[in-house]
Every structure is written in structure tokens, then in C-alpha cells.
Amino acid sequence: MIIDCHGHYTTAPKALQIYRDAQIAALGDRSRSRTKGTLAISDDDIRESLEGAQLKLQRERGTDVTIFSPRASAMAHHIGDVTTSQHWSEHCNDLIHRVCTLYPNNFVGVCQLPQSPGAPMDACIRELERAVNELGFIGCNLNPDPSGGHWTSPPLTDRYWYPLYEKMVEVDVPAMVHVSSSCNLNFHATGAHYINADTTAFMQFLTADLFKDFPTLRFIIPHGGGAVPYHWGRYRGLAQDLKRPRLDDLIRDNIFFDTCVYHIAGIELLLKIVPADNILFGSEMVGAVRGVDPETGHYFDDTKRYLDCVTAVSEPDKRKMFEENARRVYPRINKRILAVA
């Protein structure tokens, strides 16, 4: 079985964006009450949105299950307040739940959290519990920078985040470290903000004892770990200078990288540097880069093709990346897939 650990509902029916636009417009009108409102999307709308996109690509590329979450760039936690984020997250997560119910063989859910800059973790904890216990989700996306590019929150290793980590450990789900859109003109969302955040999160983990406090807490750093694998020597050297653990000890049970790197040389580097136990196959389709690479004639985000091409990795290691690691890092997936089978 081939499990893609990183997919977003980027093709959601238009009604979702119409809801969001109205929600944002209402923020400027204090006379309007803060109601959650409703979303008019039919099952056929959902089918239509997926059949020509994610489902078609799964079939064409030969992948089986996608760990599926709401569109990351649309989380936009910097807009409005925690109530805004809560209503928006609940709708987005409910929609993912409907996708997973319509296509239980193809999708397993991961939730968006109702984060808001400076807000306590309470709303996130409630939504995580709802998503896991009521919707059958197996993980969450955690935005290390809900300000959208201004980095006003404490580092991920700060006690500010601990109540959420306690809940994650309790329900045994990991988080993918995933920023959203950028409202800082310096940082292009998918080209800079995403990669910056991946790199930043790794350095935060390296410099603190978070995993001593939470030995079973697990994070997936997406987009191949940002700049980390390419600069592994720098981080190894920094860890040594700072009297921190060796990197392979640091990441072993707690930090994982996906394969959302859109060229073969980058994948080869990732596979050479990061232990096979810490790599999960992911494509982020349909997502950040949608075009065809003129040098290969294949889609940039067809990352399975790159892994298939690499000959320096053993078949057992490929099995880990395609399936076994995902089952270990997202243990709740085992029940979901088994239930379908």
C-alpha cells in the first residue's frame, strides 16, 4: 500500500470560499452577530471536485491513500480572532470528514486547528478532540506562525504550546508543522514562508528539550524538511557546538520529513542524509506547484516517480517510506484502513 502523508483539499467547491469571503467581510461590520453559519455543498459537488483532481492523480500515479487536510494556505489564522478561526476550522474539518466518508479507501483526515495569534490552546484542544474522537481523524496541522509571516508566537518548544502537546500525546496523533498564507510581503507563501517555517521549526527542536518532556510527541516537517537536509552539516555542527544531542538521536522517534521535494536531485539528497525510518512519502498534490517539468515531461509534484527512480535505496527502505513509517507515525491510520478493508 502506498500512503501519501501530505494532501490538501485545494479543489474544494466554490461555496467554501464564498463562505470564507462572507465571514471575512462580516468582521468589519460590528452590527452582525458572530454566528457560525452554514455551508451548502452537496455530495455531488464534493465528488466532482475530487474525481478530476486528487482521485485521478491517485489512479494515474499509483498511490492508494492520502492523509488529507484542509487547504493549508487558506487556514489564514491571522484573520479575525479565535472565534473566526473556530467557525472556519470546523467547517473545513467537517468537509474533510465528508470526503473521507464518501471515499474511505482513498482519504484519511487530518484537521486544521482554530489557532489565532496569542490565543490560548483551549479551542485547538477542543477541535483536536472532536476531530479525532468524532470525525475519526488521525493527526493535525500545527501552524508555528499564526500571525502569517510576522512570527509573533513563542517557539514551538515553549510551554505556550504544551497543553496542545499533552492532548496530542493523549490521543496519540502527530502534527505536521504547516504554516499558512503569508501577509508579510517579504515572504512568498509557498516559495519562502513554507520553507522558512520548516527550517525554523527544526532549529527550534534542536535547541530545546521538548522531547524530554514529551518522549512520544511526533512532528512531520513537510516539504522535505525545508533547508535542513541540504545544510545537515551546519546543523550537526551547531548541535555539537551547542552541546545538543546528535541529529539522528534528536529526530529518531520524534521528527519526520516528507518527500515533497520536486526534483530528483533533491530527493536523492534527502534519502542520502535522513535515515529511512524518518522519511514519509508525501506529494502535497494538488498543491503548491501544479505544472509539468519541461525537463522531464512529468508533473513536478509526482514525487512517487522520483522515489521509484532512486536505485540507491533498498526495497525494504522504500516500503518504510511508502507505508510503514506512516502507520507508525500516524498509528490511528491502522484502524481506519483496516476498517475499510
Which one of the spans 19-27, 56-64, 67-75, 80-88 is the region binding Zn ion (CB under 5 A)? 67-75
Considering the complex, state which of residue 302 and residue 317 has its C-beta at the smaller distance from Zn ion. Answer: 302
Considering the complex, state which of residue 217 and residue 286 has its C-beta at the smaller distance from Zn ion. Answer: 286
**126-131 — which CB contacts under 8 Å span 24+ positions?**
127/86, 127/89, 127/90, 127/93, 128/164, 128/167, 128/168, 128/171, 128/173, 129/167, 129/171, 130/90, 130/93, 131/93
Interface with Zn ion, residue 127, by CB under 5 A: no
Considering the complex, state which of residue 90 and residue 284 has its C-beta at the smaller distance from Zn ion. Answer: 284
Q: Which of 258, 190, 189, 271 has the alpha carbon at shortest distance from 225?
A: 258
Please identify every residue annotated as catalytic: 284
Measured from the Cβ of residue 9, the count of other Cβ atoms closer than 10 Å reads 27
Q: Least separation, in Å, of the C-beta of 193 and Zn ion?
A: 12
Which one of the spans 66-74, 84-92, 206-214, 292-300 is the region binding Zn ion (CB under 5 A)? 66-74
Interface with Zn ion, residue 258, by CB under 5 A: no
Q: Which of 258, 288, 318 has the alpha carbon at shortest distance from 67?
A: 258
Cα–Cα distance, 212 to 224 (Å, whole number):
25
Residues 202, 227 contacting (CB under 8 angstroms): no
Binding mask 279-298 for Zn ion (x = CB under 5 A): -----x--------------
Considering the complex, state which of residue 177 and residue 247 has its C-beta at the smaller distance from Zn ion. Answer: 177
Cα–Cα distance, 202 to 228 (Å, whole number):
7
Cis geometry, peptide bond prior to residue 82 (ω within 30 degrees of 0): no
Binding mask 4-23 for Zn ion (x = CB under 5 A): --------------------
Cα–Cα distance, 218 to 330 (Å, whole number):
9
Interface with Zn ion, residue 247, by CB under 5 A: no
Q: Least separation, in Å, of the C-beta of 178 and Zn ion?
A: 6
Interface with Zn ion, residue 301, by CB under 5 A: no
Considering the complex, state which of residue 286 and residue 333 has its C-beta at the smaller distance from Zn ion. Answer: 286
**Helix residue ranges per DSSP H, 151-228:** 162-171, 194-206, 210-213
**Position of minimal CB gap to Zn ion:** 72
How many binding residues for Zn ion (CB under 5 A)?
A: 2
Measured from the Cβ of residue 166, the count of other Cβ atoms closer than 10 Å reads 15
Residues 73, 189 contacting (CB under 8 angstroms): yes
Which one of the spans 56-64, 72-80, 81-89, 246-254 is the region binding Zn ion (CB under 5 A)? 72-80
Considering the complex, state which of residue 13 and residue 222 has its C-beta at the smaller distance from Zn ion. Answer: 222
Interface with Zn ion, residue 72, by CB under 5 A: yes
Binding mask 90-119 for Zn ion (x = CB under 5 A): ------------------------------
Q: Least separation, in Å, of the C-beta of 72 and Zn ion?
A: 4
Interface with Zn ion, residue 261, by CB under 5 A: no
* Residue appearing with cell numbers 518522549: 215
Interacting residue ranges for Zn ion, rule: CB under 5 A: 72, 284
